[in-house]
Chains A and B, each alone.
Chain A
């Protein structure tokens, strides 16, 4: 069974440019989460999809970030325009729904974003 995949693995862009990160969850996982780790800080929650619906987007830093999950499969996270403070590692995770949230979240390898 394929794990969670993320693309690209690395992205280096100039301030003001747009970047789109993609996450393919494990097939059949209804829950999809985005997290971010800024250098030197803890991993922080960004948002949570249940199928194609945004369940919780309380962690999104501002309106320069837009996440979508069309059809309840893969998800994209777009940053437009990128700022220096957006640099960090963006993780995607997915889990099954089984009546509660104690299920394991399976993480992808992350996308390292560098904004110059």
Chain B
């Protein structure tokens, strides 16, 4: 069975500081990896995804993530956050043999303070 662990439930940071949201996964088969963001009162929006190829993936709004197969991690980073980045972030995986269902982590609430 697959599982995703987001190591921090809440991350408070000051504006313009760098941030890293951590994600580890467990799977016996190969996976696709995703980060979604949910702004207040909105649906989930895809930030970035890793399917294959380069392990450093760049997404929207200046976010990037690095796939580390040996550590089964897919941490999300941004060098300088803005107030508008305040939202909940979800790491998720799809296993190659599981028909497309996303397995989500518990979510990380990023709070950017002025």
B101 vs chain A, min Cβ distance (A): 4
Interface size on B, as a range, is 20 to 34
A109-B43 CB under 8 A given contacts A43-B90, A102-B32, A102-B51: yes
Chain B CB within 8 A of A1 CB:
no
Chain A CB within 8 A of B54 CB:
no
Verify A41–B49 contact, CB threshold 8 A.
no
Chain A CB within 8 A of B106 CB:
yes
Interface size on A, as a range, is 20 to 34
> Measured between alpha carbons, how far is A102 from B51 in the docked complex, in Å?
7
Verify A107–B104 contact, CB threshold 8 A.
no
Which chain A residue lies CB-closest to B4?
A42
- The 8 lowest CB-CB distance pairs between A and B, nearest first, are A101-B100, A107-B43, A107-B44, A45-B101, A43-B104, A109-B43, A102-B51, A42-B106
Chain A CB within 8 A of B57 CB:
no
Contacts of B28 in A (CB 8 A): none
Chain B CB within 8 A of A108 CB:
yes
Would you mind naming 9 contact pairs between A and B with Cβ atoms under 8 Å apart?
A42-B4, A42-B106, A42-B107, A43-B44, A43-B90, A48-B100, A101-B100, A105-B100, A107-B45
Most buried by B among A48, A95, A105, A108: A105
Chain A CB within 8 A of B42 CB:
yes
State which of A4, A33, A44, A106 has its C-beta within 8 Å of the C-beta of B100: A33
Verify A104–B46 contact, CB threshold 8 A.
yes
Contacts of A59 in B (CB 8 A): 101
B18 vs chain A, min Cβ distance (A): 26
Contact with B along A6-22 (1 / 0, CB 8 A): 00000000000000000
State which of B44, B45, B100 has its C-beta within 8 Å of the C-beta of A31: B100
Verify B104–A109 contact, CB threshold 8 A.
no
User: B14-51: which residues lie under 8 A (CB-CB) from chain A?
Assistant: 32, 36, 41-46, 49, 51
Contacts of A55 in B (CB 8 A): 99-100
> Measured between alpha carbons, how far is A55 from B94 in the docked complex, in Å?
15
